Structure 1
């Protein structure tokens, strides 16, 4: 937890189901120990930020694993992927641009609001910038809670807020050679 008087973070610790020590402090989760892969072979240490705006490929498995918590009965992960069509046009590629500091600040605000509103145990929001090849994730939202209902609601709520207020812009390149900046579409109830 953040302590405003000392301007430092007082970390919380817990054990994961695979025996790692997890230290969390609002924006980061540090998993210390050896996290095994699905065959039980140790992969090593890793650090996962809860908020990320990056040009690198998003590691959905790593983000999902950062949500593991013995108190969580549900982990829901949403991947927004680049698709090959939009508005009746064939899309060949997508590119995203962001104002990084402002985007991170707004994602942090959204995360904090979701944590409180849905009583989440964990929440990570990662957005990719630069060119995103078709089928790859452009955005990943992961939420953990004691029960599944809040995680489903939180992921949808977070994505609606991301589309509304985070300074990230999407440019689509079309197969006919044209390109256009496009706005995110609102979710249909």
Structure 2
């Protein structure tokens, strides 16, 4: 029987850590780690002036994230999966989401990490409320 694969998922209201992600997916058979870090930017599409945002999550967000991570962990040569999303108030430059996948080779790590972040964004019920410098605000993802 093969060694269990490390899987870490969370939706949390405290700052995220790239170092935590890298440590979480360490595995003796892994020769590659693909990492995705999503940060708060000062614009959204054509709209400039984002000053802050607030992420909110549905109570089932962690469970959905766990299902996605479990599915990604079953891909060939994947040995570790990490996906943590921040909720609460964030400023421009703050880390909003960190995903990491370890695999035997880079191609598998990149493919699995891309699948992880794309499915997270498409399926996990997390929404953001953006505030702009002109005083306007906007919900995204509802």
TM normalised by structure 2 equals 0.90
Of structures 1 and 2, the larger Rg is shown by 1
Structure 2, unpaired ranges of 5+: none
Question: Map of 1:143-162 to 2, 5 A cutoff?
Answer: 143-162=101-120
Deviating 4+ runs (over 2 angstroms)? 24-27
Contact 1:81–1:135 (8 Å) recurs in 2: yes
**Alignment deviations for residues 145-187 of structure 1 (CA, whole Å, 9 cap, x no partner):** 0000111111111111111111101111111110000139xxx
Aligned residues: 140
Q: Which residue of the partner structure matches residue 55 of structure 1?
A: 13
Structure 1, unpaired ranges of 5+: 2-11, 13-23, 28-49, 185-189
Q: 1:96 to 1:118 in 2, by over 3 A?
A: farther
Q: Which residue of the partner structure matches residue 128 of structure 2?
A: 170
Question: Map of 1:27-176 to 2, 5 A cutoff?
Answer: 27=7, 50-89=8-47, 90-100=49-59, 102-176=60-134
Task: Name the SS for the 1:177 alignment partner.
Answer: coil
Normalized per residue, the structure richer in helix is: 2
Q: What is the Cα deviation at residue 117 of structure 1?
A: 2.7
The CA distance in 1 between the partners of 2:81 and 2:45, in whole Å, is 31
Contact 2:35–2:101 (8 Å) recurs in 1: yes
